[in-house]
Amino acid sequence: MSLRIGWIGCGRHARQMLLPQLGRNDIHLAAVCDVDADAAAAVARDYGVSATFDDADALLAHPGLDAIGMAVGPAIHQAVSLKALARGLPVFMEKPPAPDSAGAAEIARAAKAAGKPVVLGFMKRYSTGNKIAHNILTSDEFGPILGFAGIYMTAPTYFVGEVDYTGFFLHHCVHYMDLVPWLMRSPVADMSVRVVEKEPGKLLIHLSLATLSGAIGTLVMGTVQSRGTPMEFVQVMGDHRRVEISNIINVAYHRNPPFKADDPAATLADSSDTLVWTPNFTAAANEDHKGYAALLADTAAALRGEPSSAPTIDDGVVAMQNLERMVGLVAEALRASGG
């Protein structure tokens, strides 16, 4: 079944990452909206859309829509998703869903009352390396998860003018507030932080955490690295097993191989030696290793009312609760350090 979607937010992220995935999943872009008339006109031209708006309420009133998609900002996400749900329209929106967890919870209640899905753009779950890792971690072979270590950095230029770090927290850190419990297979139960602020806008956070299952972890995030370098690394550790994901595309599954130096018959064993994977970028294949294509495929199923593993507004509530807890600890640490 083809879906007619009304889309709000025609900026670079939507144009480059999200909108190209719609047609691949039989979603027809029926109307677009942006306060920047030129941006809306450019998307309309690219996708053959005749209905363009500069007001979200006007787009919501456009006849024949089956769903709403958004990539704007948290306050607009919250306000427009509530109005869409009141009209009986399912919603896809980029993260974060709202400025705070209370706003996300309001959307969750509205979605339940309307009986319509609200899908969140937590594409880190769909990044190829993370997806492979999750499938390993949920297998019977891996066993209980004991620990997590991760690095997810960015640069101060990405959030220039926001030295209170609001944009950094809401648009960057929120990803791992969802990814960590998803990979660890358990909710976060405890947090503590240490911070270094070199100068306003340049922050380094070491977040210690523990899950309800008893696993422990450390997550490093901050605004003190160049976006021109790989800035993501994840390791999840079990008993004589660990999975490592570097730059979201390089995966290594370490197990329990025997020492080989003194064994004249040493070889590589499928059952114990390290397995590695990296994509073949020379292949003529339209693969999206960041995860947007797979995310939108699951989103399309959810918007049609079909079974789907897409992240929901309930996942968004949890991520926002985790984020608010971390932000409070960071603010306390900065005050204590005189920052």
Q: Looking at residue 285, what is its pLDDT?
A: 81
Q: How is the chain split into domains, by residue range?
A: 3-122, 125-291+320-336
Quote the CATH superfamily of domain 3-122: NAD(P)-binding Rossmann-like Domain (3.40.50.720)
Please identify which residue in the block is written with the tokens 């072979």.
141
Evaluate whether 3-122 and 125-291+320-336 have a shared fold.
no
Identify the band that residue 161 occupies on the pLDDT scale cut at 50, 70 and 90: confident
Mean pLDDT, residues 106-119 taken together:
98
pLDDT at position 339 over 70: no
Distance CA 195, CA 188 (A): 20
Q: Looking at residue 62, what is its pLDDT?
A: 97
Please identify which residue in the block is written with the tokens 């450019």.
42
b or e along 292-327 (b: 16 or more beta carbons within 10 Å of the residue's beta carbon)?
bbbbbebbbbbbbeeebebbbbbbbbbbbbbbebbb
Q: Looking at residue 164, what is its pLDDT?
A: 86
Identify the band that residue 162 occupies on the pLDDT scale cut at 50, 70 and 90: confident
pLDDT at position 29 over 80: yes
CATH 3.40.50.1100 fits 125-291+320-336, yes or no: no
b or e along 145-157 (b: 16 or more beta carbons within 10 Å of the residue's beta carbon)?
bbbbbbbbbbbbe
pTM (two decimals): 0.94
pLDDT at position 209 over 70: yes
Is 13:71 a contact under the CB 8 Å cutoff?
yes
Q: Which tens digits make up the pLDDT trace of 59-78?
A: 999 999 999 999 999 999 99
Q: Looking at residue 144, what is its pLDDT?
A: 97
Mean pLDDT across the chain: 95
CB neighbourhood size of 40 (10 A): 24
Mean pLDDT, residues 95-103 taken together:
98
